[in-house]
Amino acid sequence: MKLYDTLTRTNINIEDEEINIYVCGPTVYDHIHMGNLRPIVTFDVLRRLLEHSNKKVNFVHNITDIDDKIVAQATKLCLAENDVAKQYTIAYLDILNELDIKMPKIVKVTEQMDGIIDYVKRIYETGYAYKIENDVYLNTSKINNYGILSKRKLDEQIAGHRIKSDENKLSPNDFVLWKKTTTGIVWKSEFGDGRPGWHTECSYIIDKEFQQKGFIIHGGGIDLLFPHHENENAQNIALYNRNLANCWVHVGHLLIENEKMSKSLNNFIYVKHLIESFNYRSIRWVFYNSSYTLPLNFDGNVIKSAQKDIEKIVNCINRFRTYLIANNQNIPSTSLTCDSFKESLLDNLSFANATKTIWEHVKTINEAIAHKKIEENIWAYQKLMWCLEIYGIVPEMLHNDHINEQIRNWAELLANKDYENADIIRNKLMNKKVL
């Protein structure tokens, strides 16, 4: 398996038998949009691929369920912060289920507070952090090669980054590990009442879950590269003098009219609204036609095109299943590994090449139906099903005993040249979308 590593700017080979994956999750103050969805779908495919390659995968995904944005939303809605976080956490997990995402281990920040407080204390005791009043900051000037992940020089960061200025800090690059606050829910610590910094939450969870062992892949959207992932990494260097992950994998922006989809620009599309109008397979398919590292333009035409693609694939599969039954064949219950599809994905998740293989199988199956060579091409059906398993878009099985009996009757009428009655059954099968 080769993946592009943001830190080294090269593809690195992954040969370990056990792989740890951490993907930053949402701050649950609102519903997620399509841009938020792209990373979790991408890493779901990676997980499926690795598991089908007999690798053990430990996939951890956090939920940031305490944050200033949650406090603000709770105030706006006249609700308790916990209720806001719970509402949007449930909504997010429901979407993962509806999109057939294999559920990662979900870790909520609020359930990790004792460990996070101890983590901040450990960093403070290394001398890499300092305290001003009841705020604790990481001293980035003590971190060798700070900026190595995002490839930013310190002066560039000071001039251009979006970190909030705080006159108390020794440097604008320093970031909070523990912040004093009287707003919203607070936790008691030896540093004073407050809450952890965002960057600290994720770095602690990775430290706790993986314990600096095994091959660690850290993933997320490219917008998290700086400052979030850079600052996560800095904390690990402070504690262990090593990078937080063995491979940093970043997913490109989703764009609307060539601008990044984001709530700050108010140009986003909620996933929950798309689910109301489009099959989940169509939503996932949107991400499977270009490199995951590149920006991807999204609009109504893109999702409609994805829906048409899925309809073609599903129709091909259902028709082939019908002709199997008509030819007294059983629908295979097992799939066959598709080597060309697998090789494409093993090469840095080359979605475009992998998807091309799917269309080749669809073409083979349609030609098999047209030329009445069903039995000879069962392998193509089985390989196509394997590809769709990895992509998480396997069509539902429409063929039940009743439909199968109708198919056999239809085939018998055709064999007896009773075309009038055969057409009656044929129309029924078409209405049931199996022909």
Does residue 202 have a known ligand-binding role? Answer: yes
Cα–Cα distance, 243 to 156 (Å, whole number): 22
End-to-end C-alpha distance for the chain, whole angstroms: 39
Structure tokens at 410: 């239809």
Cα–Cα distance, 247 to 341 (Å, whole number): 23
Cα–Cα distance, 137 to 120 (Å, whole number): 10
Helix (H, G, I), strand (E, B) or coil at 208: helix
- Is residue 294 within 8 A of residue 351, CB to CB? The reply is no
**408's torsion region: left (phi>0), alpha (psi -120 to 50) or beta?**
alpha
Per-residue CA distances from 84 to 69, 148, 414 (Å): 10, 37, 61
* Pairing assessment for the beta strands 135-138 and 129-132 based on DSSP bridges: antiparallel
Cα–Cα distance, 70 to 74 (Å, whole number): 6
Does residue 228 have a known ligand-binding role? Answer: yes
**78's torsion region: left (phi>0), alpha (psi -120 to 50) or beta?**
left
- Is residue 246 within 8 A of residue 217, CB to CB? The reply is yes
In the chain, the largest separation of any two C-alpha atoms, in whole Å, equals 91
DSSP H helices, 216-270, are: 230-240
Structure-token match 């960093």, residue found: 123
Does residue 263 have a known ligand-binding role? Answer: yes
Q: Nearest CA to 1 among 374, 345, 364?
A: 345
Q: In degrees rounded to 5, what are phi and psi of residue 137?
A: -120, 150
Structure tokens at 84: 């806001």
Q: Nearest CA to 175 among 218, 225, 141?
A: 141
Cα–Cα distance, 61 to 99 (Å, whole number): 16
- Is residue 95 within 8 A of residue 275, CB to CB? The reply is yes
What strands, in cross-sheet order, belong to the sheet with 259-260? 259-260, 254-256, 296-297
Annotated binding site for ATP: 263
Annotated binding site: 24, 202, 228, 232, 263
Annotated binding site for Zn(2+): 24, 202, 228, 232
